[in-house]
Amino acid sequence: NAGVMQNPRHLVRRRGQEARLRCSPMKGHSHVYWYRQLPEEGLKFMVYLQKENIIDESGMPKERFSAEFPKEGPSILRIQQVVRGDSAAYFCASSPPRSGSPLHFGNGTRLTVT
């Protein structure tokens, strides 16, 4: 039973380029969460999605960031026109539908903007 799969593991982008981060949840999990971790910090919530629906995006920056979780395929976190401050580790987590279940995290994507 594969865990949460994130790719790529490392991503380098120049300022102004687009970054696409992918996340495949664990089998049977329909809830996906994206978190960002800056160096020496804990994880900060960005967005919570279920299939084809954004449930809560209160942690997403208002511009340049978007997320989707289509009916088929992985969840995508998209960052347009990246800036140096976007450099961070981005973690995806998934959980089953029932409340109270722990979130299972992927290994993260480390984005570096040069």
Partner 1 sequence: AQKITQTQPGMFVQEKEAVTLDCTYDTSDPSYGLFWYKQPSSGEMIFLIYQGSYDQQNATEGRYSLNFQKARKSANLVISASQLGDSAMYFCAMREDNSGGGADGLTFGKGTHLIIQP
Binding residues for partner 1, rule: CB under 8 A, are: 31, 33, 35, 40-45, 48, 55-56, 58-59, 89, 91, 93, 95, 99-100, 102-108, 110
Distance (Å, rounded) from C-alpha 36 to C-alpha 38? 7
CB nearer to partner 1: pick between 64 and 110: 110
CB nearer to partner 1: pick between 76 and 103: 103
Over its C-alpha atoms, the chain yields an Rg (Å, rounded) of 13
Nearest distance in Å: CB 3, partner 1: 9
The DSSP secondary-structure symbol of 2 reads: -
For residue 7, which of 76, 102, 101 has the smallest C-alpha distance?
76
